[in-house]
Structure 1
């Protein structure tokens, strides 16, 4: 999760939620996110809430699984005490950081605690992110044995000089190995890419796309590189050491990726995500976009239940102190008002293929749809069915589409 935490109200020490979270709770799925905030090195572009060994200030990786399990127990108590119905977890996602820097036994123990607390719904999706150089065949087989169903490899690029600019440490030649091992273990595979890195040409990007297609993954994610303030890469650009990403080149890269994935049988289902079949979509991420409930475990993790959103203290040492004291690790929270929830629903649902129902828009937004169709930003056929579905051009200008749908 991003490292920046919003300003809001203090969170109660016991973590209990207001009764309002029970409204329509039975219609919402429950997902669990586990943030593992450890990395071997800090990549120059990254502003996520992650820590190398030198930045832990006394916190220990070896203690983390036990602390996360304590938060699982707290979460189970809070959801029950707040009057929410019993719900099995439909998705579990271990993200980071690099979850697979921990021993696989730690991931297995945390997942087992989640199963004890809530159970897993039939066919539940259980994912971990992994760097290609952080796992081997035995590790992937152990993940499958522990109950994981899916692994998301941070490939980012197949071109060495692009990986070097991003400060990624793996050898591109390792991708075919880890994909083969994951498939042998029976795990679904997602490959994650970044495009628009300084110095990356369209030919470089084409090389990475071809490398992805050669592995025939179940799922592909691709995100345009965003230069975040405070990162090493932002400082390098400010000093003129590397060039800033080009918006036009990033658009060309997106169009090339979409065309080649479509030709290979993949369909986009969210602006930055493609899947071979509906069953290969990331159901955990879809739950974020569709406004379901999730509890985020770990330092800096964000949660959302029934219109209440909160976030944990950021540093692993502060998180450990809260957990050891028997307190909620939440640093702050906010209760979303009806207007904020409406705006966020438009923003998030517009990003996914099924789109937003036109009848959910305010009158001004419904009027705007015709202009968006004329500008080839929204699919006319889908609009006749009552939905806002972005065209390829609309995906490239998704933020502008949302602004027009929300204009008063």
Structure 2
């Protein structure tokens, strides 16, 4: 079974053969606050008790605005195709703060007409009023972190929202006028039965979302969840069970009219696909605002200091917030292109492969893992389950 974790937005633009101006430019805004740290999460997030001096939710937006101004100085006025507020839980901040950051991006760089503007949200972090304010302020898309509809599964994940709240949150988003509503699900939690997963899928499709993301739970080193697994307190499902849950997700979502367009993502139609994530997968350029955020511009990738206090202090002192970075050479870019584009239903151009591995293509096709469509390699359903192995065969 392939890992279906969310791929990090760390691929380049020009090396993919897609001019950045044609592929579009995106902005990611990292909001590192959560009410509770989930045991499985290794994202750069903090609860109020973990922040210490020098960083608060009340002052975060002003720090982000400073980096937006620096971004504008670095890249100049540049039409922005997509903006994505992630975290953490962006909606832990007041809606006015999120709208203020978006307005600053528009003021300093300029949003293209019809730009996609997304925020992630937990169902218990929104109200009808906050959603209405976000929509009024220019947000077009919202992605709710549902994860599961089953209370004992949510408890294992340390999720705090009441699953009964999800239909209300979706309805409020529709009433506020959001163009797209997406739901995030996680499968493979210890103790989650196949019936539990079916319940989560059934609830999700009953809400008629425009988009669903379904990711296998990944145990990341250094997390509380990893320590529980190491001590034998929880037992992860085997690969066959995880694969069966992926197949159930694909069958259920497809029957509900949602088509896969990336290994872990299904959309109602092309318009409902997440354009911001497609920007990453197709190798365009983007700037990441916020502590720990990654950026890729002019064949260089870099990432900011992680702690919100250090981030705010450096901005206030006029110092760089970059922690480290790297130039992306052609071999690295070629490898990353294969790793990312093979995940897409649109597939990977045959021309992107090194001739030395071209002989693997008919072998993989004969095994039923790949189809060749218009000179592009497209994973079959079986190939989607073994995507990591396919990538190894295409890159070794």
Q: TM-score, normalised by structure 1?
A: 0.91
The alpha carbon displacement at 1:57 in A equals 1.5
Measure the CA separation in 2 of the matches of 1:307 and 1:36. Answer: 25
Correspondences of 1:235-254 after superposition (within 5 Å): 235-254=227-246
- Unaligned stretches of 5+ residues in structure 1: 7-19, 81-85
Equivalent pair of 1:302/1:312 in contact (CA under 8 Å) = yes
- Unaligned stretches of 5+ residues in structure 2: none
- Structure 1 window deviating more from structure 2 (362-371 vs 398-407): it is 362-371
Matched, 1:233 2:229: no
The secondary structure found in structure 1 opposite 2:45 is coil
Equivalent pair of 2:99/2:134 in contact (CA under 8 Å) = yes
The equivalent residue for 1:173 is 164
Correspondences of 1:212-361 after superposition (within 5 Å): 212-361=204-353
Structure 1 residues 384 and 217, CA gap change in structure 2 (3 angstroms)? closer
Equivalent pair of 1:74/1:328 in contact (CA under 8 Å) = no
Equivalent pair of 1:225/1:245 in contact (CA under 8 Å) = no
Equivalent pair of 2:215/2:264 in contact (CA under 8 Å) = yes
The equivalent residue for 2:385 is 396
The equivalent residue for 1:29 is 24
Measure the CA separation in 2 of the matches of 1:137 and 1:193. Answer: 23
The equivalent residue for 1:64 is 60
The equivalent residue for 2:365 is 373
Cα-to-partner distance string for 1:330-361 (whole Å, 9 max, x where unaligned)? 11110011100000011111011101100221
Equivalent pair of 1:182/1:189 in contact (CA under 8 Å) = yes
Measure the CA separation in 1 of the matches of 2:171 and 2:29. Answer: 26
Cα-to-partner distance string for 1:96-127 (whole Å, 9 max, x where unaligned)? 00000001110010000000011111211000
| Aligned length in residues | 383
Measure the CA separation in 1 of the matches of 2:255 and 2:246. Answer: 14
Alignment counterpart, residue 75 of structure 2, candidates 79, 84, 87:
79
The alpha carbon displacement at 1:384 in A equals 4.4
The alpha carbon displacement at 1:246 in A equals 2.0
The secondary structure found in structure 2 opposite 1:173 is helix
The secondary structure found in structure 2 opposite 1:73 is helix
Equivalent pair of 1:308/1:333 in contact (CA under 8 Å) = yes
Equivalent pair of 2:341/2:348 in contact (CA under 8 Å) = yes
RMSD of aligned alpha carbons: 1.8
The equivalent residue for 1:11 is none
The secondary structure found in structure 2 opposite 1:199 is coil
Measure the CA separation in 2 of the matches of 1:391 and 1:307. Answer: 32
Measure the CA separation in 1 of the matches of 2:29 and 2:96. Answer: 15
Correspondences of 1:186-205 after superposition (within 5 Å): 186-187=177-178, 188-205=180-197
The equivalent residue for 1:90 is 81
Equivalent pair of 1:29/1:87 in contact (CA under 8 Å) = no
Measure the CA separation in 1 of the matches of 2:394 and 2:232. Answer: 38
The alpha carbon displacement at 1:24 in A equals 4.4
Measure the CA separation in 1 of the matches of 2:394 and 2:173. Answer: 42
Matched, 1:364 2:377: no
Equivalent pair of 1:307/1:341 in contact (CA under 8 Å) = no
Equivalent pair of 2:34/2:89 in contact (CA under 8 Å) = yes
The equivalent residue for 1:184 is 175
Matched, 1:53 2:48: yes
The equivalent residue for 2:394 is 405
The equivalent residue for 2:113 is 122
Structure 1 residues 142 and 385, CA gap change in structure 2 (3 angstroms)? same
Cα-to-partner distance string for 1:296-329 (whole Å, 9 max, x where unaligned)? 0000000011321000000001001111011221
Measure the CA separation in 2 of the matches of 1:151 and 1:402. Answer: 32
Measure the CA separation in 2 of the matches of 1:94 and 1:217. Answer: 19
The alpha carbon displacement at 1:364 in A equals 2.6
Q: TM-score, normalised by structure 2?
A: 0.94
Structure 1 residues 228 and 137, CA gap change in structure 2 (3 angstroms)? same
Measure the CA separation in 1 of the matches of 2:147 and 2:343. Answer: 22
The secondary structure found in structure 1 opposite 2:359 is helix
Alignment counterpart, residue 146 of structure 2, candidates 155, 160, 185:
155
